Structures are given as structure tokens and as C-alpha cells.
């Protein structure tokens, strides 16, 4: 990979009639071969990507490398991104009666470029289109080279996988990184748009130092996206089909590249929900321990615990959310238009104790799975069930609802309207991926893909909530959910055992960059239960590393969990870690599909280092100060935040973590 830094972008150079050369960044060049219909990327004169082409599969199959000579043009359509024409370059081919145009945006001084392909002509609708097909990525660095598989969502305990390049063989969702863990240099390739296409990224090892990469719109997979049918066709007026925009970036630190990708994706997608301007959210959720046993007395007991025994567990705004998860309807008789006295009492009790009431709901699921009248409308559930191959679709034990159906929308308005009226100030919305499934057809005939339906459904949810609550997404599509919520769970349900912590830190370790996509990501409810002190320390540290803190034990009763909470949840030095709301970065990202063990985050003059040991025996780590971004010639003052013990760090630093345990250090300069 090539080191790229800020530099002015030169003008495109036509070396001959067939080759267009476009410099960008520092010593980077995009070369488009008009005759062959392919494009390459070079850095310092050496190839990084070679022989990439565009592919379209509609009523005709067209590839740019088999479409005849293309024509180059400067300027053109900026795809609505407000980008100056001097930064836009396009190549057009005419094949099979269709006009195929690939556009590249290369901004001055940037490590990346953006590309997409559009196909214009009669009956242009297609369910597969790629601006980067079969591009060969050449990995120049020796050592620990990795290719990252990223899942579509956080359902069913799915895992990220940092595969060795020599073994890479996968199709992931939306984005990948191909990087060297020793040097951090790497390439990031990812989709910036998520409102029509599910984007797939296929990476396949081809040679000792190379992989083939294809980034395409049209991903469906029974496991990855939970779809049993192909992706829906995409077109504008059936005369134009446009791929998702793809970012291709070369970075000196692939972790910065992933954060750049997340930030750029946010900029290119309209934020529907108002940004969260308050402090990092903290709170408690009932699913961690109470689950189906939720009662008003239990909920009030939890509130009392945080009001009396753990009253310093508050965020920077002195706020705490007490969130009733599924089975809050235990507190209701006859539905939300029946006797809701206990829910009203819960809300009032929260406010009397100066905490904020939260609630839970899933807008696109039918758990009853029988035909009956939908709340708030004259439609029945069977009329709103989403269907694939003519049959209702069941995922996670619930049937999916068509997010475009008026019955689904009326039900959303009915439920959320009641919950708003009751005075809830937070809502956890779950199983959102049901609303993103493909369908044989949608009620709204203008909608042809699952992501289009998802956008319509989530926009409607936000319109009903009208910025009245903190909105927290649980199970949900990773990229497409960001415009609609403030906060997202990084993984699926995790409880107290050390393997739950390891699973969570697989998602945090390789998905930390989502804290640049959402206002916050969190590690799900932190449950201490009766685990060992070390395992509980690791579970708590996993939440701090992810960036927020939602607890989950039954604090209406006393036990070892309440003692751990009183000690750790009120530790100011530990709580300060999440003030900025950002996740830690992985220090070493080479654990395949297992949890990352070493993390780092810098806030001002402080550097935090977190170490985890998921095994049953002690683990010794050697920490490089240089890899932490610190001066390895200095002696530095380090404080172990759980114990408060202080030490002086000088290279090399060696730390032993006990079995099933974790440590967090804060490092400051000034050691002698």
C-alpha cells in the first residue's frame, strides 16, 4: 500500500488516444484505459489496483472491458454532492444499445476517490451493477496482511473476520479493508449510499500478494442479509440504472481510513433524525436480567438502587435512562388503549427520582404470526406481511412487515403515538432488518428494493417520533440505519460470561469506526451477575471501550452484581473514558473472527490502553509505545484505572493480564 498525504491534484493527462491519467493526493494516479475499458491505481509509480472494470447485469450484460472504445470527458454530473466540475471525470461507452458512464471524483489533497457507474437506455432496470469488478489489489507490504469481512447487520451473533490475505475468500457487506497489521498501511473500499442498494464486497485471494475485489450493488444472501430471493431491480423511470457510489482510498493507517469512510458516508446521506447534542447516554435496560419477569415493583426497585445506592452513576448531564425492554406489556392490561396505569406510574416514578424513562418496540415485526386486525387501522396483519417466493418471511421468530404498507405505517403511528403520550424519553427500536428485506413486491409500487422500503419505513418512524426521544437501534443494518437513530448496539445480545465479552469485542474491535457514523455505539447491556471479578471487569471494560454504558442486572435485589455496580459504576475516572462517546481503536487487528485483545484511544493529552484476556490462563503482552502514538524514548506515567496503582512505562512495556480479565491504563507524559 502507498502512503498518501495532502498534495494538489494535477489535471488529467492524455498520454495517448487510449490512456487518461489523473493524479490525486501525493504521488497517486488513476489511469483509465479507454480502449480496454479498465482502470488502474498507482502509487509512487507502482500498481495498487489493476484491471478493474464496470459490470451491469440487466436485460443485457455489459462489461466495460468488452464494450469497445470509451470516450473521456472532464466535468459532468456530480451526483448531487456539490463537487466542483474540475474534480469530476467520466468515461462513456455505448454497448448493446445502452450508454454506460463511469464517473470518478478525485478531490485535491485527498487519499481517496469516489466512483459510480450509470447505464442509460430502454428497460435499464437491473439488480446487479458494479463500478469496480475484478480489480486486482496488489499488497506490497510483507508481514501480517489482512482482508476484513464486514457483516450486513448485528443479528444472530454474526462476527467480523480479519482473514489473512493468503486465505481471503468472502463476500461481505458495504465495506472492506485490505491492510497490513504491522505497518497499518491499507486500502479501504466501501459504499457511501445505502438507500436503494445492498452493496456487496467480494474479496478472493488470487496470488501470493494479490486479491481480486468486486464492489457491487445487488447483494442478497440467506445468511448475510436473510433474503431468500434476489435483490430488487433499481432504475429511474426504467431508463437509468445507477450503482452505489464507492469510495476507494489508500491510507497510511487503515484505521484512519475506516473512520474517513464512516465520516464520508455520513456526509453523503441526509441525516433524518436531529443530531444528539447532549452528553453520552448512560443507563439501564431490563433485558439483561429481568427479561420476561419484568414488573412495576422490579422496575421501581432498580430506580431506587440508582437513586440511593448508586447515585453517582450519571453521565456528564447528570442523566440516566431507565429502559423497559420487551415485556413492558406486563405492565399493561388490554393493550395501550386499555389500562396503562402501571406504565404511567413507572414514567412518573422515573421523573420523581430524576431519571429518564425508556421503552422498547419493533416497528417491522409481527410476533403473533396470525391474521388479526392491525392496531390503528382497518388492515389485517396478513395483508401487511412481506413475502418472498409467495410466502411470509420469518426471521428471528417474527414475521416481517412490509414497511411501505399503510397498515404498517398506521401501526407505527398508533404505538409510537401512545408511547410519546405516556412521556417516554428514550426508545430502543429492534429487529429493524425485517424492514430491509427484499420482497416479491411492495405495497408501494414505486418501491422495488428492500433498502428503499427501509428508508421509507425509518423516515416514517422518525416523523412520528418527531425528535421527542433518544432513539437507540438494536438489531439493525450496519450502514443504512445511521441517518435515523442516535445510538446503535455494536453486536447482538451479550450477557456476563467472558465469551460474551469476547464476542462483543470482535464487533467493537473491527467495527469501532461506527462511532464516527452514529452519535454513539454501545456494547449492549452490561450484566455482572455472579461471574468472577475478572470476568465482570472485562465485561465493564468492553462497554467503556465501545463508547457508552448501558447496564442490565436486576438491581431490585442485592447480590454480588450490586456490589460490583456500586464500586465501578460510580468510578469517575472510569466514567470519564466515555465522555467523548468514541470507541477505542484496535491496537492489533489480527484476531481473525475472534475478539480484539488490545485497544487504544487518545483524548487530548491522555492515552487510554485497554487489554483483555479471554483465556483461562494468564496472558503476557508486549506493548509498543510507538504503536500507541507515544514517544518511545520517554518515560511515561501510567495509572491502572481499576486498581488505581501507578507505574512508569518505558519501552518495551510488558503487562500480564490474569485469566478472564481486563485492564485499562491511562497514560500521561511527565514520567521521569
What ranges in 512-628 are assigned the alpha helix state H?
A: 533-546, 560-568, 572-575
What is the pLDDT at residue 84?
61
- CATH number for the region 585-668 comes to 2.60.40.1180
| pLDDT beyond 70 at 5 | no
Taking a C-beta distance cutoff of 8 angstroms, is the pair 96, 12 a contact? no
| pLDDT beyond 80 at 628 | yes
Residues 6+ apart with CB under 8 A from 344: 422, 423
For domain 13-268, which CATH number applies: 2.70.98.10, 1.20.1050.10, 2.40.50.100, 3.40.50.11540?
A: 2.70.98.10
Residues 6+ apart with CB under 8 A from 80: none
User: What spatial distance separates the first Cα and last Cα of the chain, rounded to whole Å?
Assistant: 38
What is the pLDDT at residue 85?
62
Model confidence pLDDT, tens digit, residues 561-576: 999 999 999 999 999 9
| pLDDT beyond 60 at 672 | no
Q: What are phi and psi of 42, to 5 degrees?
A: -120, 150
What is the pLDDT at residue 238?
87
Taking a C-beta distance cutoff of 8 angstroms, is the pair 481, 520 a contact? no
Residues 6+ apart with CB under 8 A from 16: none
Report the distance separating Cα 375 and Cα 411, nearest Å: 5
Model confidence pLDDT, tens digit, residues 635-645: 999 999 999 99
What ranges in 385-532 are assigned the alpha helix state H?
A: 406-422, 450-465, 498-511
| pLDDT beyond 60 at 2 | no
Q: Which residues are registered as beta bridge partners of 95?
A: 98
Report the distance separating Cα 366 and Cα 616, nearest Å: 42
List strand residue ranges (DSSP E) for 507-626, in order. Answer: 520-522, 525-526, 549-551, 585-586, 598-603, 606-613, 619-623
Report the distance separating Cα 665 and Cα 508, nearest Å: 18
Copy the grid coordinates of residue 352.
420523581
Taking a C-beta distance cutoff of 8 angstroms, is the pair 556, 297 a contact? yes
**Which of 107-111, 585-589, 647-651 has the least mean pLDDT?**
107-111
Model confidence pLDDT, tens digit, residues 447-456: 999 999 999 9
Hey, CA dihedral for 157, 162, 164, 170, is it positive or negative? Answer: positive
Q: Residue 284: enclosing H or E segment and its boundaries?
A: strand 282-285
Model confidence pLDDT, tens digit, residues 424-444: 999 999 999 999 999 999 999
Q: What are phi and psi of 292, to 5 degrees?
A: -70, -10
Burial of 36 (0-12, 13-18, 19+ CB in 10 A): middle
Report the distance separating Cα 399 and Cα 365, nearest Å: 6
Report the distance separating Cα 64 and Cα 340, nearest Å: 62
- Average pLDDT score over residue span 300-313: 98
- Average pLDDT score over residue span 473-487: 98
What is the pLDDT at residue 652?
85
| pLDDT beyond 60 at 548 | yes
Report the distance separating Cα 573 and Cα 430, nearest Å: 32
Per cent of the chain over pLDDT 70 is: 95
Report the distance separating Cα 544 and Cα 621, nearest Å: 20
Taking a C-beta distance cutoff of 8 angstroms, is the pair 24, 68 a contact? no
Report the distance separating Cα 632 and Cα 588, nearest Å: 18
Q: SS3 of 343, please?
A: helix
Residues 6+ apart with CB under 8 A from 643: none
Within 13 Å and on the Cβ side, how many CA atoms surround 281?
33
Report the distance separating Cα 503 and Cα 499, nearest Å: 6
What is the pLDDT at residue 669?
73
Neighbours of 656 (CB within 10 A): 11
What is the pLDDT at residue 107?
79
| pLDDT confidence band for 81 (50 / 70 / 90) | low
| pLDDT beyond 90 at 128 | yes
- Tell how strand 394-395 and strand 636-640 pair up: unpaired
Per cent of the chain over pLDDT 90 is: 91
Taking a C-beta distance cutoff of 8 angstroms, is the pair 432, 473 a contact? yes
| pLDDT beyond 50 at 15 | no
| pLDDT beyond 50 at 617 | yes
- Per-domain residue ranges of the chain: 13-268, 585-668
Taking a C-beta distance cutoff of 8 angstroms, is the pair 479, 174 a contact? yes
Model confidence pLDDT, tens digit, residues 357-393: 999 999 999 999 999 999 999 999 999 999 999 999 9
Report the distance separating Cα 479 and Cα 433, nearest Å: 11
| pLDDT beyond 60 at 590 | yes
State how far the alpha carbon of 322 is from the alpha carbons of 99, 301, 351, in Å. Answer: 56, 11, 10
Q: What are phi and psi of 341, to 5 degrees?
A: -55, -45
State how far the alpha carbon of 305 is from the alpha carbons of 150, 300, 313, 346, in Å. Answer: 39, 9, 10, 15
Report the distance separating Cα 322 and Cα 285, nearest Å: 6
Amino acid at each position: 500500500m502507498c502512503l498518501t498525504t495532502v498534495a494538489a491534484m494535477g489535471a488529467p493527462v492524455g498520454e495517448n488516444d487510449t490512456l487518461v491519467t489523473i493524479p490525486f493526493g501525493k504521488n497517486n494516479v488513476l489511469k483509465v484505459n479507454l480502449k480496454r475499458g479498465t482502470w488502474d491505481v498507482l502509487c509512487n509509480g507502482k500498481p495498487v489496483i489493476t484491471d478493474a472494470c464496470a459490470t451491469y447485469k440487466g436485460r443485457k450484460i455489459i462489461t466495460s472491458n468488452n464494450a469497445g472504445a470509451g470516450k473521456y470527458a472532464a466535468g459532468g454530473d456530480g451526483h448531487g454532492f456539490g463537487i466542483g466540475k474540475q474534480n469530476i471525470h467520466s468515461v462513456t461507452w455505448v454497448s448493446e444499445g445502452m450508454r454506460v458512464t463511469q464517473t470518478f471524483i478525485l478531490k485535491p489533497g485527498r487519499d481517496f476517490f469516489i466512483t459510480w457507474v450509470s447505464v442509460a437506455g430502454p428497460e435499464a432496470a437491473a439488480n446487479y451493477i458494479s463500478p469496480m469488478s475484478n480489480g486486482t489489489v496488489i499488497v506490497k507490504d510483507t508481514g501480517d496482511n489482512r482482508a476484513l469481512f464486514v457483516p450486513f447487520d448485528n443479528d444472530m451473533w454474526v462476527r467480523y473476520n480479519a482473514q489473512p490475505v493468503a486465505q481471503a475468500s468472502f463476500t461481505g457487506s458495504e465495506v472492506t479493508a485490505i491492510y497490513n497489521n504491522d505497518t497499518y498501511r491499507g486500502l479501504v473500499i466501501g459504499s457511501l449510499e445505502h438507500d436503494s442498494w445492498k452493496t456487496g464486497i467480494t474479496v478472493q485471494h488470487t496470488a501470493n500478494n494479490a486479491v481480486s475485489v468486486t464492489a457491487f450493488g445487488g447483494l442478497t444472501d440467506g445468511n448475510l442479509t436473510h433474503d431468500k430471493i434476489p435483490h430488487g431491480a433499481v432504475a429511474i423511470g426504467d431508463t437509468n440504472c445507477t450503482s452505489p457510489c464507492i469510495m476507494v482510498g489508500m491510507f497510511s493507517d487503515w484505521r484512519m481510513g475506516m473512520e474517513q469512510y464512516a465520516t464520508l458516508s455520513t456526509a453523503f446521506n441526509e441525516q433524518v433524525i436531529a443530531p444528539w447534542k447532549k452528553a453520552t447516554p448512560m443507563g439501564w435496560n431490563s433485558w439483561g436480567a429481568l427479561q420476561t419477569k419484568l414488573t412495576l415493583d422490579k422496575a421501581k426497585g432498580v430506580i431506587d438502587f440508582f437513586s440511593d445506592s448508586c447515585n453517582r452513576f450519571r453521565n456528564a448531564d447528570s442523566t440516566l435512562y431507565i429502559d423497559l425492554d420487551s415485556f413492558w406489556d406486563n405492565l399493561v392490561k388490554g393493550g395501550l388503549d386499555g389500562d396503562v396505569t402501571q406504565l404511567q406510574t413507572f414514567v412518573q416514578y422515573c421523573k420523581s427520582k430524576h431519571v429518564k424513562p425508556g421503552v422498547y418496540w419493533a416497528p417491522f415485526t409481527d410476533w403473533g404470526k396470525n391474521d388479526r386486525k392491525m392496531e390503528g387501522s382497518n388492515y389485517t396483519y396478513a395483508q401487511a406481511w412481506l413475502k418472498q417466493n409467495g410466502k411470509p418471511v420469518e426471521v428471528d421468530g417474527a414475521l416481517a412487515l412490509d414497511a411501505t404498507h399503510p397498515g404498517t405505517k398506521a401501526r407505527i403511528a398508533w404505538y409510537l403515538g401512545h408511547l410519546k403520550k405516556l412521556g417516554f424519553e428514550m426508545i430502543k427500536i429492534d429487529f429493524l432488518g425485517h424492514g430491509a428485506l427484499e420482497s416479491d413486491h411492495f405495497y408501494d409500487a414505486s418501491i422495488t428494493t428492500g433498502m428503499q422500503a427501509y428508508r421509507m419505513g425509518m423516515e416514517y418512524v422518525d416523523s412520528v417520533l418527531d425528535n421527542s426521544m433518544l432513539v437507540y437501534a438494536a438489531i439493525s443494518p450496519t450502514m443504512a440505519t445511521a441517518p435515523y437513530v442516535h445510538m446503535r448496539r455494536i453486536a447482538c445480545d451479550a450477557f456476563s460470561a467472558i465469551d460474551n465479552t469476547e464476542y462483543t469485542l470482535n464487533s467493537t474491535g473491527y467495527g469501532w469506526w461506527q462511532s464516527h457514523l452514529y452519535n454513539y455505539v454501545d456494547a449492549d447491556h452490561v450484566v455482572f451477575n455472579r461471574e468472577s471479578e475478572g470476568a465482570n471487569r472485562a465485561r465493564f471494560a468492553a462497554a467503556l471501550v465501545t463508547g457508552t454504558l448501558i447496564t442490565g442486572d436486576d438491581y431490585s435485589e442485592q447480590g454480588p452484581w450490586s456490589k460490583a455496580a456500586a464500586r465501578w459504576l460510580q468510578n469517575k475516572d472510569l466514567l470519564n473514558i466515555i465522555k467523548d462517546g468514541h470507541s477505542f481503536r484496535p491496537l492489533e487487528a489480527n484476531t481473525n473472527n475472534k475478539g480484539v485483545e488490545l485497544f487504544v484511544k487518545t483524548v487530548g493529552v491522555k492515552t487510554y490502553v485497554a487489554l483483555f484476556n479471554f483465556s483461562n490462563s494468564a496472558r503476557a503482552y508486549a506493548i509498543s509505545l510507538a504503536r500507541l502514538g507515544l514517544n518511545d524514548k520517554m518515560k511515561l506515567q501510567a495509572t491502572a484505572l481499576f486498581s488505581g496503582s501507578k507505574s512508569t512505562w518505558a519501552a518495551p512495556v510488558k503487562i500480564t493480564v490474569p485469566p478472564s480479565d481486563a485492564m485499562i491504563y491511562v497514560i500521561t507524559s511527565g514520567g521521569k
